[in-house]
Amino acid sequence: MMAKIFINPGHDELSLKGTPDYDPGAVNYDIPLYENEVAWNVGNLVAEYLEAAGCEVKVLQSESLRHIYESANEWGADYFVSIHCNAFNASAHGTETLTYPSDVEGYKLAGCIQAQIVDSLDTLDRGLKARTDLAVLNGTDMPAVLVEMAFIDEEDDAILLRDNQDDFARAIARGVTDFLSE
């Protein structure tokens, strides 16, 4: 199983902190918790677990969506996984995984990851959602998924995102290996 997995922690790289247009993604100021930091931590743990499972992995967090999907395409990734936290109205909660509508393999991969997260974190299962408007799903040549692990602006989900990053990472990695062994 030498699949090449491209991991994209969502939003701007942490090194841009303090620059004018810095986009940390969604923020929970009460904790405080920043989406791009959570995604970075989880993404790198996912990479460790997938490498231990025999995958080749590349991690890229970037302010340029085009740079992300072009890097995945040039590297010749077999699968692409973008990692995010959701935010809405401070009461919506749960996990959802997004794919491009015609991406059949991506949909299967999304199902495996979604099931593992909901199982191990006990988050609300909001299901798989088709999205045509996301550059990382449109621009990638390989099956691609975008995981919205939980809602950073909802109290219980946010605590999970703060305290259970390793569990999210293990669940995402197991979802990938479940898919690869199908």
Q: 150: helix, coil or strand? A: strand
Residue closer to Zn ion by CB (options 55, 113) is: 113
Min dist. Cβ of residue 14 to Zn ion (A)? 15
Please identify the residue of the shown chain whose CB is closest to the bound Zn ion: 84
Smallest gap from Cβ 76 to Zn ion, in A, equals 25
| Number of Cβ within a 10 Å radius of residue 138 | 13
Q: Are strands 33-34 and 27-28 parallel, antiparallel or unpaired?
A: antiparallel
- CA dist 119 and 78 (Å) reads 26
Q: At its nearest, how many Å lie between Zn ion and the CB of residue 181?
A: 29
- Give the max Cα distance, the chain: 46
What's the CA gap between 147 and 10, in Å, rounded? 10
Identity of the residue, 25 or 175, whose beta carbon is nearer to Zn ion in the bound complex: 25
The count of other CB atoms within 10 Å of the CB of residue 52 is 9
At its nearest, how many Å lie between Zn ion and the CB of residue 182? 28
Burial class (CB in 10 A: 0-12, 13-18, 19+), 139: middle
Residue closer to Zn ion by CB (options 25, 143) is: 25
Pick the closer one to Zn ion by CB: 151 or 179. 151
Residues of this chain that interact with Zn ion (CB under 5 A) are 10, 25, 84
Residue in the structure block whose two tokens are 């692409």: 80
**Smallest gap, in angstroms, from Cβ of residue 87 to Zn ion?**
8
Helix (H, G, I), strand (E, B) or coil at 92: coil
Q: Decide whether 54 or 129 has the Cβ nearer to Zn ion.
A: 129
